[in-house]
A and B are shown apart, each in its own frame.
Chain A
Amino acid sequence: SQQGEEDPQALSIQEGENATMNCSYKTSINNLQWYRQNSGRGLVHLILIRSNEREKHSGRLRVTLDTSKKSSSLLITASRAADTASYFCSGGSYIPTFGRGTSLIVHP
């Protein structure tokens, strides 16, 4: 079953603004991962947050995890045009599965 559904499907912001995207999943997880996909490319692993963590930072990325609500959020602060991409989450399971992703467009 699909372990990660992103919301919103599309997000359009201006450079310098923050971008927040959400992820919901269905079953219990050990960890949750966020990935980025540039157009026509493979996925790049951004960050992994374990089920016993509530928040994690990596550079301009901040990820939260609420296991009680089975949800996670990815915040990109001070966005740049180069952040334009699709972002996917995947609940930790042996086989990574994905939703449709959030398509982020950052206008210069």
Chain B
Amino acid sequence: GAVVSQHPSRVICKSGTSVKIECRSLDFQATTMFWYRQFPKQSLMLMATSNEGSKATYEQGVEKDKFLINHASLTLSTLTVTSAHPEDSSFYICSARAEQVDNYGYTFGSGTRLTVV
């Protein structure tokens, strides 16, 4: 149980285009999801907290107009990288907290490797 599905796993896009990444909780409801960005051999940097039915909370330094987050249902959050540039190339990971925190803690998606060319 407590599976988070993230798609796509890899995407290559041209500079200036937008890319949408989906994060779905498959067998539980997630009122809150988290979006992270990870550079090679670095830690996961929290970008924003996605709240179902309300605006996302962005971490300092993260441009909310560039990284659009939508959490329209209890099982789906999306991150759209708008007008992507090569410096946006990174590994993006979503996470959600299952109800049974003692058993599952936080569940992570498998990540999306974004390459902007």
Q: Which of A35, A40, A43, A90 has the most CB of B within 10 A?
A: A43
Contact with B along A19-44 (1 / 0, CB 8 A): 00000000000000101000011111
Which listed residue, A33, A45, A101, touches B43 by the CB 8 Å rule? A101
Residues from chain B with a CB closer than 8 A to the CB of A95 are 34, 46, 49
Which chain B residues border A48 with CB–CB below 8 Å?
Answer: 101-102, 105
Interchain residue pairs with CB less than 8 A apart (19)? A35-B108, A41-B110, A41-B111, A42-B4, A42-B109, A43-B93, A43-B95, A43-B106, A44-B108, A45-B105, A88-B44, A95-B34, A95-B49, A96-B95, A97-B44, A98-B44, A100-B42, A101-B43, A103-B41
- Given A43-B44, A48-B102, 14 more pairs with CB closer than 8 A: A40-B111, A42-B108, A43-B93, A43-B108, A45-B105, A48-B105, A88-B43, A90-B106, A95-B49, A97-B46, A98-B43, A99-B43, A100-B42, A100-B43
Binding site for A on B (CB under 8 A): 4, 6, 34, 41-44, 46, 49, 91, 93, 95, 101-102, 104-111, 113
